[in-house]
Amino acid sequence: MGGTARGKRRQLGRRLKVLRNQMGLTTDEVAIRMEMSSSALNRVELGGPINIHALRSLLDLFGVTYDRWPEFENMLRAGAERGWWHAFGLKDKGYVPLEADATLVREYNPIALPGLLQTSDYAKALFTGSGELRSDERLRNDIAVRMIRQKRLTSTDDPIELISVIPESLLHQRIGSLKLMDKQLAHLIKLAALDTVTLQVIPSEVGAHPAMSGMFILLSFDDLGEPDVVYVEHAVGAVNSDKEALVEGATLKFEQLRAVALSPEDSIALIRKIAEQP
């Protein structure tokens, strides 16, 4: 996978950060020499925008020879392309652009079924019941984005793998009508049979478990050379981080969840059993 434009910008920013560290320079020192703010330089290193002249000045400052400049300039140009999500009113921040670059998603969500596994009707019921005001156009766009994301589960050109752990309570929770939930459970069974999907259910009898505090998602980027990212949503927003300690903690917690959950085969059997209940 070559990565999206945003992924290219993150790659460029990370390469520039490595060069800066190799020179033994702090962001403040570089910012002074570049006549820019430290916060602006930090944004560049995190994948923010930079123009060609500033890029060349940084490369010169970091001692990069002219013959190597084109590889950095090409990343800059590739990073200027707009992601598909812009057509649906989303910007290059938030979860969707991150997932667009990922090759593996590991998700625990005790609140709702994973977006990658939702039917359009289930997604619509979640959006309309969230209490957040949405215009009809935004509602259509939000549902469309969710459906487009799911296409990668069956893509051969740009596949994504999902490993998801959910509590059994979500299978019993009525979102929308009973007919809607019947279709959603059937959809889960269908997608769980894909080679790209691993779904495990934590049975209710397990009780307390390592992730009672809330949802989190781990994103891995395969050949982009990017570190894993942990993404967490909460009641008033969301945060993501690639800090090693946080990612390692989330990875350990996810493996603990998988250990207490049913196997994928037993999880599908449980979903079938619940779906067959009158």
pLDDT beyond 80 at 79: no
Per-residue pLDDT for 133 more than 80? yes
- Count Cβ atoms within 10 A of the Cβ of residue 209 and give its class: 0-12 exposed, 13-18 middle, 19 or more buried: middle
Domain map (residue ranges) of the chain: 5-78, 84-275
Region 84-275: CATH code: 3.30.870
Q: What is the mean pLDDT of residues 41-64?
A: 91
> Of the candidates 56, 79, 77, which has an alpha carbon nearest to the alpha carbon of residue 68?
56
DSSP H/E element including 109: none
Binned at pLDDT 50, 70 and 90, residue 223 comes out as low
The reply to whether CATH 1.10.260.40 applies to domain 5-78 is yes
